[in-house]
């Protein structure tokens, strides 16, 4: 059974994106010219997970975007942080992150709707998100002018390490009270004394 484990490890290792059990099964079935039970694959993945929990490995098996991939362990965050800092020019700008957040929570959404929420033009931010493959065109709205609709991609889920859109943090619940920022309602005006 170790040969199956080794093949699954190789498939997960070489896949540029998280690989799903169904994809592993399809590859193995074609390679062995026989049906490989999903249960055997799942059991092998569990064994791989246990194997890479050992301290001798700097990476571990992680489930992300509905599939599996190898990721470095948190203990190596400092050295990876330095590398990522050096590659920071690839990071998303604040405006791109704001635009991406709106698209993620409101998808499918049109560019005019995103611009209404942000209050600024979003042409550049949306184009950068499309270029990075984090958002995609999902169709056209049934409103006047039929604007394009945008939604997040599988790469978005990989980028943020989530399996499903339901894994996104829940926005804070806002109360219906009037906004009193900058006002201290506990303080009262002193009574004027004559």
Domain assignment present for 179: no
Same domain, 93 and 154: yes
Same domain, 106 and 70: no
Verdict on whether the full-model pTM lies above 0.75:
no
Same domain, 119 and 51: no
Domain assignment present for 188: no
- Tell me the two tokens of residue 112: 């005019």
Same domain, 100 and 159: yes
Domain boundary among 74, 105, 123: 74
Domain assignment present for 181: no
Burial 64-99 (b: 16+ CB within 10 A, else e): bbebbbbeeeeeeeeeeeeeeeeeeeeebeeebebb
Domain assignment present for 190: no
Count CA atoms closer than 13 A to 121's CA, side-chain side: 3
Rounded CA gap, 173 and 40, in Å? Answer: 44
Instruction: Per-residue pLDDT tens, the chain, 194 aa: give them.
Output: 588 999 999 999 999 899 999 999 999 999 999 999 999 999 999 999 999 999 999 999 999 989 999 999 989 988 888 887 776 556 788 999 999 999 999 999 999 999 999 999 999 999 999 988 999 999 999 988 899 999 999 989 888 888 888 888 876 643 444 444 444 444 444 444 44
Domain assignment present for 192: no
* Alpha carbon of residue 180 to chain centroid: 34
Residue 144 sits in a domain whose CATH number is 1.10.10.10
Instruction: Please state the domain count of the chain.
Output: 2
In this structure, is the dihedral angle defined by the CA atoms of residues 84, 136, 162 and 46, taken in order, positive or negative?
Answer: negative
Domain assignment present for 174: no
Domain, as residue range, for 150: 89-167
């Amino acid at each position: 059974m170790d040969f199956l484990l080794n093949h699954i490890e190789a498939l997960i290792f070489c896949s540029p994106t998280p690989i799903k059990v169904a994809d592993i099964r399809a590859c193995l079935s074609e390679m062995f010219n026989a049906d490989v039970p999903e249960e055997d694959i799942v059991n092998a993945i569990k064994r791989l997970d246990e194997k890479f929990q050992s301290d001798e490995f700097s990476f571990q098996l992680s489930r992300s975007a509905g599939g599996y991939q190898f990721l470095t362990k948190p203990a190596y965050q400092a050295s990876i942080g330095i590398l990522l800092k050096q590659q920071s020019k690839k990071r998303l700008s604040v405006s791109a992150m704001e635009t991406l957040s709106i698209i993620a929570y409101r998808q499918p959404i049109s560019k005019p709707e995103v611009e209404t929420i942000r209050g600024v033009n979003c042409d550049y931010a949306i184009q950068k998100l499309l270029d990075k493959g984090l958002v995609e065109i999902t169709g056209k709205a049934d409103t006047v002018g039929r604007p394009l609709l945008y939604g997040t991609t599988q790469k978005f889920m990989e980028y943020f390490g989530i399996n499903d859109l339901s894994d996104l943090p829940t926005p804070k619940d806002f109360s219906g009270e009037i906004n009193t920022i900058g006002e201290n309602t506990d303080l009262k005006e002193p009574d004027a004394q004559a």
